[in-house]
Amino acid sequence: MARFVDLHPANPQPRLVSQVVEALRDDALIAYPTDSGYALGCQLGNREGRDRIVRIRQLDDRHHFTLMCKDFAQLGQFVHIDNSAFRAIKSATPGPYTFILPATSEVPRRLMHPKKRTVGVRIPDHVVVCALLEELGEPLLTSTLILPGEEEPRTLGWEVKEELDHEVDVVVEAGEPRAEPTTVVDWSGGYPEVVRVGAGDAERFVA
């Protein structure tokens, strides 16, 4: 049965933030709200957590996992960003965008796209997620909580708890997030290609 943790959306309680992060360090899989709906998250080294995300979402090997990063400096440790991408990505973050970029050696191979050696990265504009990332000290391996047969991420903590009570270890509640997933921009080829239009303004990446 999943633990339900109710965090204040504007001033998350440090004690509860620490409890969620301790669970992550103990290889927990969490469901948590972001600036683009609920997501599933675990530590980068949590192999079972990654496999549980795959099972819950019924993902195939073409899926791009995302590293949720606290800031641009941390993001730059895990992906290669050329000069053409640097300014555009920096100006769009934090926000509801996911960027697909070539992974550095810091990223475990099992988290990369098997053929392209790429990974998704993003910097959220969400107080609670930023608090969790600051306490954790590393990115969260994450994937939007869109269940099989659905097109939008979940937004209600109690609903997530009810549906995934035996699939995740912790459900974080922090107000109701927007129900639109991130805009995904693939920059792995040296130019921006919008592969999903979502909450972020895609026009800024269209030539």
The dihedral of CA 126, 127, 132, 138: what is its sign? positive
Give DSSP secondary structure letters for 76-89: HHHB---HHHHHHH
Q: Distance (Å, rounded) from C-alpha 85 to C-alpha 150?
A: 32
What topology is assigned to 3-205 in CATH?
A: DHBP synthase (3.90.870)
Domain spans, the chain: 3-205
**Cβ 135 vs Cβ 17: under 8 Å:** yes
pTM for this structure? 0.94
Beta bridge partners of 119: 101
The label of the residue with tokens 């959306």 reads 9
pLDDT value, residue 84: 83
Residues 6+ apart with CB under 8 A from 82: 190
**Cβ 31 vs Cβ 172: under 8 Å:** yes
Residue 95 Rama label (left phi>0; alpha psi -120 to 50; beta): left
pLDDT value, residue 46: 97
Residues of the chain with pLDDT under 70: 207
